[in-house]
Amino acid sequence: MIKILSVVGARPNFMKIDPVLRALERDARGFALTLVHTGQHYDENMSRVFFHDLGLRPPDIDLGVGSGSHAEQTAAIMIGIEQVLIAHRPDLVLVVGDVNSTLATAITAAKLHVPVGHIEAGLRSFDRRMPEEINRIVTDALSAHLFTPSRDANENLRHEGIAAERIHLVGNVMIDTLRRCQELAARSPILDQLALQRSKYVVLTLHRPSNVDDPEVLAEILEALAEIQKLIPIVFPIHPRTTKQVHELGYQSRLADMPSLRLIPPCGYLDFVALQMNAKLILTDSGGIQEEATALGVPCLTLRESTERPITVTEGTNRIVGHNKGKILRAVREILEGQVFEGRIPELWDGYAAERIVAVLRDAYAA
């Protein structure tokens, strides 16, 4: 048996690991699987709901680290995961994405000489002020197997001097989950519950530190939203980080003054996919949502200055609009007036990325 220990911690990790664990479980050769949850995210609606919606196997170990500064959170995960790795001695550790749990696990495993497989390797925004960019660079440098979602990621890794034999273009595991769950999501009652009509609303997410931690940037985005909600209703599942910032900056009344902006708690997976599938337009600063919008063919405007997922712009439905009010409003009006960009589905975003990862692991670890 090949012992594989997988680590998740924050919301976007769950939908990425799920298809991989399913594919490993299906493999006849037999892998012994352990799932560790670091506890970086811990709220019912930031964590547990995803296990329920996806049918993700429950974690074998929960480190329960919770929130903190970057150093506090990363250090707490490293201390916890070191004990787990020493006790379990896996043949391989799998990490996904670019969150602090990914970085902390990669550093700790590499120093214990446990090979690391990084799923969603090679993405780069080329903006080192983003905490995720630091996490991506360090995790990739330390990984033995780098599973990439698109050719641009392979290029980035080659430029950083990573040996070609460590890099595997497998496609997008997040889209594996989207394809598996799309039918289920279509049955979600969320549109009825919120009295929303198909193609007649915008769905918004916002949580990047660069947008919500800076009072001026957040104020400008809110000004843009105040105009947009006069044109079309907005539904806004609000991230806990953003809720906290809105309160700390005293911006509650700015949100309350927008009658057609509907604030709701963070959604479960199926409800959020349903909201995306039926939206006229998606406004976001998330990474994964840019990809899901492309896979669903729904127009997406990204409220950031850069993206680590350029393929969603070159091939998909995504446009980068930053946080300038005028620019955001122009882009929204164009879409509402029917100027939508037809995208295409990127290569290997076909629902079988996890199968390709397992094929690589089988070759690498077969006795």
Output the six-digit token pair for 146.
């780098």
Q: Which of 115, 240, 265, 297 binds ligand UD1 (CB under 6 A)?
A: 240
Q: Which of 33, 51, 63, 100 binds ligand UD1 (CB under 6 A)?
A: 100
Q: Is 40 in the site for ligand UD1 (CB under 6 A)?
A: yes
Per DSSP bridges, beta strands 234-237 and 261-264 are: parallel
**Region near ligand UD1 per CB under 6 A, out of 9-17, 196-204, 229-237, 354-362:** 9-17
The CB density around residue 252, as the number of other CB atoms within 10 Å, is: 12
Among positions 252-311, residues that touch ligand UD1 (CB under 6 A) are none
DSSP 249: T
Quick one: 271 exposed, middle or buried, by C-beta within 10 A (0-12, 13-18, 19+)? Answer: buried
Please tell me the distance from the alpha carbon of residue 159 to that of residue 157, in angstroms, as a whole number: 5
The alpha helices in 30-69, defined as continuous H runs, are: 49-54
Among positions 210-239, residues that touch ligand UD1 (CB under 6 A) are 239
Angle at 159 between CA 156 and CA 162, to 5 degrees: 90
Q: Is 99 in the site for ligand UD1 (CB under 6 A)?
A: yes
Q: Which of 118, 207, 280, 323 binds ligand UD1 (CB under 6 A)?
A: 207
Angle at 232 between CA 229 and CA 236, to 5 degrees: 60
Angle at 34 between CA 357 and CA 46, to 5 degrees: 85
The CB density around residue 119, as the number of other CB atoms within 10 Å, is: 28
Q: Compute the least distance from the CB of residue 40 to ligand UD1, in Å.
A: 5
Q: Compute the least distance from the CB of residue 10 to ligand UD1, in Å.
A: 4
**Closest CB to ligand UD1 among 12 and 117?**
12
**Region near ligand UD1 per CB under 6 A, out of 7-15, 165-173, 251-259, 341-349:** 7-15
Give the interface size with ligand UD1 as a residue count (CB under 6 A).
20
Three-class SS of residue 145?
A: strand
Is residue 298 within 8 A of residue 197, CB to CB? The reply is: no
Please tell me the distance from the alpha carbon of residue 354 to that of residue 277, in angstroms, as a whole number: 23
Q: Is 43 in the site for ligand UD1 (CB under 6 A)?
A: yes
**Region near ligand UD1 per CB under 6 A, out of 8-16, 76-84, 225-233, 273-281:** 8-16
Q: Compute the least distance from the CB of residue 43 to ligand UD1, in Å.
A: 4
Q: Which of 2, 5, 8, 12 binds ligand UD1 (CB under 6 A)?
A: 12
Please tell me the distance from the alpha carbon of residue 64 to that of residue 121, in angstroms, as a whole number: 26
Q: Which of 46, 112, 144, 336 binds ligand UD1 (CB under 6 A)?
A: 46
Among candidate residues 207, 239, 247, 323, the one labeled active-site is: 207
Catalytic (active site) residue 168: no
Q: Is 104 in the site for ligand UD1 (CB under 6 A)?
A: no
Is residue 133 within 8 A of residue 156, CB to CB? The reply is: no
**Closest CB to ligand UD1 among 158 and 244?**
244
Binding residues for ligand UD1, rule: CB under 6 A, are 10-12, 40-43, 46, 67, 73, 98-100, 131-132, 207, 239-241, 244
Q: Which residues are catalytic?
A: 207
